[in-house]
């Protein structure tokens, strides 16, 4: 009895301590020209929710819960606005420090989408000017889309439909983490999660969205209203209420006030030649996805454009030709044909090997994170996978052995030469089910190969899955963050013991390391005797060479510094096993020629950089 009383007393004291603890505050200034908009807000609230404390944001007399996306968005924070973040509770100091660091990084990384310069082209017909979203030339009748509402049989309750939609957005985000657009889906997921806490019915959700959208009307964040409408539509679809969009079956240029981000994907399966939107902005998620799709697009007053007759959308010149003459049509067709030839030429050459002017062949591999990005890499012309970031396969839920094996098998089937990096978390990368104790400097703590000591069961299962999937294939296993010869030897022995335990033949598998830690530069003579290959990870190597955290919000490093190239030269001069490079430096057009002259023959880059990297090599 006394034990229970003591426990209750301690619990009450703990609660009182949190309740009456002194709040901590800091002032943050919005420096991005885009304002504090949905994507950075979503990342901010996601981090805030990870701490055991209250987090609020105050601006212009309003104080909101900074763990809720819609609440923080309602402050409509624009460039040069300063707001106060206050934390109270157990992890108040830790939360405040982390949020301030993240916010500064978000502001620095949130590059302004600048107005695209228009190329002057003279047309005889009347023209309508607009702002360019995506460059291109299209000729087709102008058309608007129609909708048809269908009610399908539905067994989901409202709350279940909300959770299913949130899960779908999370899966889409995880599947596209390698793309520049992934944060859009994370933002929508966090937005819907915040709304879900206040709604018990579809009617509640519609009323709340109307209320939250009204707060953004007339602000620089008004373009984000489409995201509210988008998540609402996705929930309705989950409930069986489908709004089917009917597009023309022939070539058309779509006119609309705006489009929902989720509707952009539908356009790819239609005969759309171009898009003109009236009410979006070049910073909207709709515009971002249109740019990613490559569809010629413009922002202009669609009410002035005649329907059902051929128009010219020249989003290189930034105009719509309303009533084109025969000469106008001929000029536009010539531009179209030239664009097609240029794209076709680039597309056809991406599968060709990259040779320098001296006839030296350089292999261009891809850095990927999952099955989808591996398939994209294949389509982009990659010759293999130089870095499979396996942590992206793990997402927010620990995968089963079967799930991992299936993913690795699909990726190994895509390429003949694949290098898998074992799980690399710690530092700026975290997984919710891997508990790494709080460290004063996580970049110098438990991460990479050190997980073999702290989480051997997770690494054992990962290696088992890799070995099953790799049967009969050429696969390389690479250990990250190796700093000593002993670390590599222990990791390899661990891998061999896993194979022996499960009676799997791994005689065809090679084992190597990423060169990221400067100590390795002085151990190459010994490492040459035990490793099968090396891969230079220039991102972390540069970070440790300059003792500057690569995610630091204000301190920056020159990755093309002579120090970095001196380190690479040293590696190439002392390594007797194959060396490749998989850091961002490999796709830096200013560095490629120098890397090749130093002796590197294998570069591994992001999938979208493959064609450009190959073309750059051809001029070396």
The number of residues making up the chain comes to 620
What is d(CA 452, CA 465) in angstroms, rounded to the nearest whole number? 16
State the DSSP H helix or E strand holding residue 26, giving kind and residue range, or none if neither: strand 24-29
Contact 164, 196 (CB under 8 A): no
Give phi and psi for 548, each to the nearest 5.
-130, 115
Contact 255, 302 (CB under 8 A): yes
What is d(CA 504, CA 499) in angstroms, rounded to the nearest whole number? 5
What is d(CA 493, CA 526) in angstroms, rounded to the nearest whole number? 17
Sign of CA dihedral 172, 178, 184, 190: positive
Describe the strand order of the beta sheet including 131-134 as a list of residue ranges: 127-129, 319-321, 310-314, 137-143, 252-256, 272-277, 297-299, 131-134
Say whether 518 sits in a helix, a strand or coil. helix
- Catalytic residue chosen out of the listed positions 37, 199, 464, 582: 582
Contact 602, 361 (CB under 8 A): no
Q: Is 597 a catalytic residue?
A: no
State the DSSP H helix or E strand holding residue 536, giving kind and residue range, or none if neither: strand 533-536
Q: Is 582 a catalytic residue?
A: yes
Say whether 244 sits in a helix, a strand or coil. strand
- Catalytic residue chosen out of the listed positions 53, 199, 285, 455: 285
CA nearest neighbour of 275 among 147, 131, 146, 149:
131
Describe the strand order of the beta sheet including 54-59 as a list of residue ranges: 24-29, 82-88, 54-59, 62-65
Give phi and psi for 28, each to the nearest 5.
-120, 140
Distances (CA, A) of 410 to 370, 470, 494, 618: 10, 10, 25, 31
Catalytic (active-site) positions: 285, 582
């Amino acid at each position: 009895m006394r034990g229970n009383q003591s426990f209750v007393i301690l619990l009450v004291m703990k609660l009182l301590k949190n309740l009456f603890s002194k709040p901590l505050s800091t002032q943050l200034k919005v420096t991005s020209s885009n304002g504090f908009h949905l994507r950075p807000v979503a990342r901010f609230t996601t981090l805030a929710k990870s701490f055991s404390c209250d987090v609020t944001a105050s601006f212009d007399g309003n104080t909101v819960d900074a763990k809720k996306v819609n609440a923080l968005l309602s402050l409509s924070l624009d460039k040069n606005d300063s707001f106060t973040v206050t934390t109270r509770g157990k992890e108040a100091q830790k939360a405040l420090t982390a949020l301030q660091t993240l916010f500064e990084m978000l502001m620095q990384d949130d590059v302004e989408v600048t107005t695209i310069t228009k190329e002057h082209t003279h047309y005889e017909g009347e023209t309508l000017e607009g702002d360019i979203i995506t460059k291109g030339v299209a000729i087709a009748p102008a058309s608007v889309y129609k909708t048809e509402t269908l009610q399908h049989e539905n067994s989901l309750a409202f709350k279940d439909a909300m959770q299913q939609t949130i899960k779908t957005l999370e899966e889409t985000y995880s599947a596209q983490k390698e793309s520049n657009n992934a944060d859009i889906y994370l933002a929508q997921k966090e937005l819907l999660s915040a709304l879900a806490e206040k709604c018990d019915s579809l009617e509640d959700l519609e009323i709340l969205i109307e209320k939250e959208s009204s707060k953004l009307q007339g602000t620089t964040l008004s373009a984000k209203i489409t995201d509210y409408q988008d998540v609402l539509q996705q929930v309705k679809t989950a409930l069986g209420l489908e709004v089917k969009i009917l597009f023309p079956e022939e070539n058309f240029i779509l006119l609309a006030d705006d489009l929902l981000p989720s509707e952009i994907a539908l356009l790819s399966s239609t005969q759309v030649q171009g898009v003109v939107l009236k009410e979006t902005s070049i910073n909207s998620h709709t515009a971002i996805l249109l740019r990613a799709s490559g569809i010629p697009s413009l922002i202009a007053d669609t009410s002035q454009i005649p329907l059902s007759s051929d128009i010219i959308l020249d989003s290189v010149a930034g105009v719509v030709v309303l009533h084109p003459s025969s000469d106008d049509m001929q000029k536009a067709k010539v531009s179209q044909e030239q664009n097609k030839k240029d794209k076709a030429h680039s597309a056809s050459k991406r599968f060709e090997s990259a040779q320098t002017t001296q006839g030296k062949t350089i292999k261009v591999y891809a850095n990927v994170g999952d099955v989808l990005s591996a398939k994209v890499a294949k389509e982009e012309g990659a010759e293999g996978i130089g870095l499979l970031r396996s942590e992206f396969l793990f997402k927010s839920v620990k995968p089963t052995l079967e799930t991992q094996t299936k993913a690795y098998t699909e990726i190994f089937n895509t390429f003949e030469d694949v290098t898998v990096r074992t799980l690399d978390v710690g530092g700026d990368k975290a997984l919710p089910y891997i508990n790494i104790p709080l460290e004063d400097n996580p970049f110098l703590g438990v991460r990479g190969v050190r997980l073999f000591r702290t989480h051997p069961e997770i690494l054992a299962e990962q290696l088992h899955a890799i070995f099953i999937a790799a049967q009969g294939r050429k696969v390389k296993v690479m250990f990250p963050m190796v700093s000593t010869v002993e670390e590599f030897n222990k990791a390899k022995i661990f891998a061999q013991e896993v194979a022996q335990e499960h009676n799997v033949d791994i005689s065809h598998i090679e084992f190597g390391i990423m060169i990221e830690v400067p100590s390795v530069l002085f151990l190459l003579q010994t490492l040459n005797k035990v490793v099968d290959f090396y891969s230079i990870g220039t991102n972390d190597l540069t970070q440790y060479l300059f003792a500057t955290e690569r995610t630091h919000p204000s301190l920056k490093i020159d990755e093309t510094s002579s120090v970095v190239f001196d380190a690479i030269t040293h590696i190439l001069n002392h390594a007797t096993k194959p060396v490749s490079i998989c850091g961002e430096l490999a796709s830096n057009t200013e560095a490629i020629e120098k890397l090749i002259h130093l002796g590197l023959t294998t570069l591994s880059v992001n999938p979208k950089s493959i064609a450009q990297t190959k073309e750059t090599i051809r001029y070396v």
